[in-house]
């Protein structure tokens, strides 16, 4: 969809606001062209000595009243228009936000956060201006131009009118060339602003790393270079916009010279009165607004077009996952992988090959293996962040795409290794998936996740606000808050992706014991536990070892230990040894 089509659709939907603004502008234009005519009459009346005393005052009062009405109408159209343009900004931002929440990781891998943030702020502002001010200024400018030209040619003298128009085609050509340059300059300015945004976003998110590596100076220098370059691009756009003004000035200057020369000649020949020539030069002065409006409108439209060129591919990008499924999540169902394969785009090797496994309701499945084996990828497939390239994944009788995405994800409680906490209170973070939870339920979940003691030591306990992304908590505390959040949710399938990596072995044992107790309370809830530490899966009903995307071993803890020389048995011995050395320290 082009900017023109999008704006046309918006104007159709909000025609009443636009019509009200247009009517007010029409009133302004009519009053504006009436003024020089009236002044001409007053001048001629005074020159002829026929207008004086009360009659003159009445005429002057009429002119003042006209000025006040123009002022009020100008305020009125701006209010009506800004209300409409504001709605467009809100509609576009809401649409962008919705699109972004529906896109999967494939989309975000190709996009930078700073870019997306710039789209939601700067670019939408530019589109809003194009649909608001630019559109009505174009209408106003054209209307004034037509009325003023008609008054000049038909109302005063057509020969003088045509002669004064001679310089205008040159101005139109200059405008066309300048607007091309303005478009290029705005495109580059908006792009560089995005780069600047990206730098700020990454710099703030990684500020600890930058500080620890002593890179803050260098980072600040890079920021200053980017800010210079963004400023320079905006300045370049402004420089080109500034070229509109001399073009208007020169054109009007030339038109005025012609009008005064030729008009003076007509006055001398008594074909024109001085009052008419006064009115004509006032009309010429009134052409300044349509000329400036044209420059301003072109610049706003070019900026809007450059912004829309960046915005529309994101708004119209196909959603990377289809959400056509409609089946609700079965209350208690077996998760089944049948010969599942998956490869990331551009990766040489498949991340998962021929993976088949089953997780019965109420059971715990342990998933272990060396780093890069494909464990997190397997969980991502359950979450439907990616689609398998081969085989199928079923929950009960339905394959995952048959379930509605919303229902599927509400049925999964996923805890990643680095969970995301929001800048809200601890209680709100725990109750994220169940906002109606009572304080007692929140506390019970926190106790099971072994984080209750930590929370009570915080200044305001559960009401303590945690910084953005939970920066005020330790890594282990963040993990346990996220586990509490998962345990509180009603989701029947718990997915722990190395979610205990930052807690000590003692706390891990405590949490796992709580999970076992929970099985008694919620016998239908199943868990899929990915872990580097094998102690986390010892009690699992079944353990699967993944190596290079394939299942290399599987069985219970005891069965896997019995596989002499197997990966699990070797790792177990190694980790036990490590634990006993740690204990001696
Ligand atoms: N977004 C991605 N794009 C391309 N390749 C990826 C992506 N994410 C993971 N990979 C690759 O896929 C393979 C499996 O990664 P995955 O994260 O699933 O392994 P893992 O077993 O969870 O590893 P770890 O134990 O270190 O977390 C690795 O080779 C990894 O480099």
Span from the CA of 533 to the centroid of ligand 1 (angstroms): 18
- pLDDT of 29 reads 82
Q: How many Å lie between the centroid of ligand 1 and the Cα of residue 375?
A: 8
pLDDT(519) > 90:
no
Distance CA 337, CA 551 (A): 12
- Residues for the chain: how many in total? 585
Helix (H) or strand (E) holding 390: strand 390-395
Q: How far is the CA of 475 from the centre of ligand 1 (A)?
A: 21
Sheet containing 364-368, strands listed edge to edge, beginning at the edge strand earlier in sequence? 412-415, 493-497, 526-530, 364-368, 542-547, 550-555
**Measured between alpha carbons, how far is 258 from 469 in angstroms, rounded to an integer?**
69
Residue 51, pLDDT above cutoff 80: no
Residue whose CA is at the smallest distance from ligand 1 atom 7: 344
Nearest CA to ligand 1 atom 29: 372
Asked if 20 and 83 touch (Cβ cutoff 8 Å), the reply is: no
User: CATH for 419-487?
Assistant: 3.40.50.300
Pocket test for ligand 1, best of 377, 496, 567 (most atoms within 8 A of CB): 377
366-388 residue pLDDT tens: 999 999 999 999 999 999 988 89
521 pLDDT higher than 80: no
Q: Which of 136-145, 378-387, 403-412, 513-522 has the lowest mean pLDDT?
A: 513-522
Task: Report the percent of the chain where pLDDT is more than 70.
Answer: 98
Query: What atom in ligand 1 is closest to the CA of residue 417?
Result: 27
Nearest residue CA, atom 18 of ligand 1? 374
CA distance readout (Å), 141 to 6, 21, 133, 291, 347: 22, 13, 12, 8, 56
Of 72, 117, 91, 74, the C-alpha closest to 7 is 91
The answer to whether the CB of 318 falls within 8 A of the CB of 307 is no
Phi, psi (degrees; rounded to nearest 5) at 96: -60, -45
Least confident of 304-313, 320-329, 407-416: 320-329
Give the position, in ligand 1's atom list, of the atom nearest the Cα of 378. 18
Q: Fold identical between 325-411+491-585 and 419-487?
A: yes
Distance from the CA of 377 to the center of ligand 1, in angstroms?
Answer: 6
Provide the pLDDT confidence category of residue 512 given band limits of 50, 70 and 90: confident
Query: What is the model's pTM?
Result: 0.71
Whether the pLDDT of residue 88 is over 90: the answer is no
Percent of the chain with pLDDT over 90: 27
> Is-contact 388 381, C-beta < 8 A?
yes
Q: So what's the pLDDT on residue 546?
A: 95
User: Given pLDDT bands bounded at 50, 70 and 90, which one contains residue 145?
Assistant: confident
- Identify the three-state secondary structure at position 444: helix
Across the range 452-475, mean pLDDT stands at 83
pLDDT for 144 equals: 83
Average pLDDT, integer, range 333-351: 90
**Average pLDDT score over residue span 95-123:** 84
Angle at 165 between CA 163 and CA 169, to 5 degrees: 130
d(CA 197, CA 210): 17
The arithmetic mean of pLDDT across residues 552-565, rounded, is 91
Amino acid 212: pLDDT: 85
Architecture of the domain delimited by 3-315: Up-down Bundle (1.20)
The pLDDT assigned to 584 comes to 67
Of the options 3.30.1330.10, 3.40.50.300, 3.65.10.10, 3.40.50.1820, the CATH number for the domain spanning 325-411+491-585: 3.40.50.300
Per domain, the residue ranges of the chain are 3-315, 325-411+491-585, 419-487
Distance between CA atoms of residues 53 and 9, nearest Å: 56
Cα angle vertex 215, ends 213, 219, to 5°?
150
What pLDDT, on the 0 to 100 scale, is given for residue 342? 94
Ligand 1: which of 107, 374, 387 to mutate, judged by most atoms within 8 Å of the beta carbon?
Answer: 374
> How far is ligand 1, taken at its centre, from the CA of residue 205, in Å?
22
Least confident piece of the model among 294-303, 452-461, 469-478:
469-478
Span 422-445, pLDDT tens digits: 888 999 999 988 889 999 999 999
Select from 359, 162, 388 the least CA-distant residue to 259: 162
User: Sorting pLDDT into bands at 50, 70 and 90, what band is 3?
Assistant: confident
Q: Which residues line ligand 1 (CB under 6 A)?
A: 344, 347, 351, 369, 371-377
Residue identifier of the C-alpha nearest atom 3 of ligand 1: 344
Predicted complex ipTM: 0.96
User: Which of 93-97, 112-116, 372-376 has the weakest average pLDDT?
Assistant: 112-116
pLDDT for 136 equals 79
Is pLDDT of 471 > 70? no
The H-or-E segment that residue 366 falls in is strand 364-368
Does residue 78 surpass a pLDDT of 90?
no
Edge-first strand listing for the sheet containing 335-342? 352-359, 335-342, 390-395, 398-399
CA 378 / ligand 1 centre spacing (Å): 10
DSSP element (H, E) containing 357:
strand 352-359
- Tell me how far the alpha carbon of residue 372 lies from the centroid of ligand 1, in angstroms: 5
Residues facing 358 on adjacent strands: 336
Atom 1 in ligand 1: which residue has the minimum CA distance?
Answer: 344
Mean of per-residue pLDDT scores for the chain: 87
Asked whether residue 196 carries a pLDDT value surpassing 70, the answer given is yes
| Distance (Å) from CA 497 to ligand 1 centroid | 12
Asked whether the beta carbons of 547 and 373 are under 8 A apart, the reply is yes
């Amino acid at each position: 969809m082009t900017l023109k089509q999008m704006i046309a659709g918006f104007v159709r939907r909000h025609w009443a606001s636009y019509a009200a603004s247009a009517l007010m502008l029409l009133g302004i234009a009519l009053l504006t062209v009436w003024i020089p005519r009236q002044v001409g009459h007053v001048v001629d009346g005074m020159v002829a000595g026929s207008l004086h005393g009360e009659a003159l005052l009445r005429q002057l009062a009429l002119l003042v009243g006209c000025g006040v009405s123009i002022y009020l109408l100008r305020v009125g159209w701006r209010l009506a228009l800004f209300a409409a343009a504001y709605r467009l900004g809100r509609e576009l931002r809401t649409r962008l936000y919705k699109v972004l929440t529906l896109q999967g990781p494939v989309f975000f891998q190709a996009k930078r956060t700073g870019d997306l943030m710039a789209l939601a702020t700067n670019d939408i502002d530019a589109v809003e201006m194009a649909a608001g001010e630019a559109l009505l200024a174009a209408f106003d400018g054209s209307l004034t131009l037509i009325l003023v030209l008609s008054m000049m040619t038909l109302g005063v003298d057509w020969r003088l009118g045509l002669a004064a128009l001679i310089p205008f085609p040159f101005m139109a050509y200059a405008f066309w060339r300048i607007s091309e340059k303005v478009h290029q300059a705005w495109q580059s300015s908006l792009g560089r602003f995005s780069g600047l945004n990206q730098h700020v976003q990454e710099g703030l998110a990684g500020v600890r790393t930058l500080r620890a590596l002593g890179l803050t100076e260098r980072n600040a220098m890079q920021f200053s270079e980017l800010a210079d370059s963004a400023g320079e691009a905006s300045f370049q756009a402004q420089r080109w916009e500034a070229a509109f003004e001399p073009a208007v000035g020169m054109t009007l200057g030339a038109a005025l010279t012609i009008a005064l020369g030729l008009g003076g000649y007509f006055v001398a020949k008594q074909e024109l009165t001085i009052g008419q020539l006064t009115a004509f030069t006032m009309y010429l002065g009134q052409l300044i607004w349509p000329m400036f409006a044209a420059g301003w409108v072109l610049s706003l439209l070019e900026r809007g077009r450059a912004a829309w060129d960046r915005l529309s591919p994101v708004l119209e990008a196909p959603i990377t996952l289809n959400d056509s499924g409609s089946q609700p999540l079965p209350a208690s169902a077996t998760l089944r992988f049948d010969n599942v394969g998956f490869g990331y785009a551009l990766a040489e090797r498949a991340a998962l090959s021929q993976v088949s496994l089953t997780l019965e309701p109420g059971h715990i499945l342990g998933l272990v293996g060396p780093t890069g084996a494909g464990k997190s990828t397997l969980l991502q497939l359950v979450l439907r962040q990616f689609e398998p390239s081969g085989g199928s994944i079923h929950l009960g009788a339905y394959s995952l795409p048959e379930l509605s995405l919303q229902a599927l994800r509400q049925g999964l409680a996923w805890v990643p290794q680095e969970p995301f906490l929001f800048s809200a209170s601890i209680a709100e973070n725990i109750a994220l998936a169940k906002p109606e939870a009572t304080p007692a339920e929140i506390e019970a979940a926190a106790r099971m996740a072994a984080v209750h003691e930590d929370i009570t030591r915080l200044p305001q306990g559960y009401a303590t606000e945690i910084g953005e992304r939970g920066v005020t908590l330790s890594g282990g505390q963040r993990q346990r808050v996220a586990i509490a959040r998962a345990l509180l949710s009603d989701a029947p399938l718990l997915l722990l992706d190395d979610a205990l990596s930052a807690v000590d072995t003692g706390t891990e044992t405590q949490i796992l014991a709580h999970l076992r107790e929970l099985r008694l309370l919620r016998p239908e809830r199943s868990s899929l536990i990915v872990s580097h530490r094998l102690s986390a899966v010892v009690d699992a009903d079944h353990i699967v070892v993944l190596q290079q995307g394939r299942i290399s071993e599987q069985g219970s803890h005891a069965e896997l230990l019995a596989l002499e020389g197997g990966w699990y048995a070797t790792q177990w011995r190694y980790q036990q040894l490590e634990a006993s050395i740690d204990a001696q320290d």
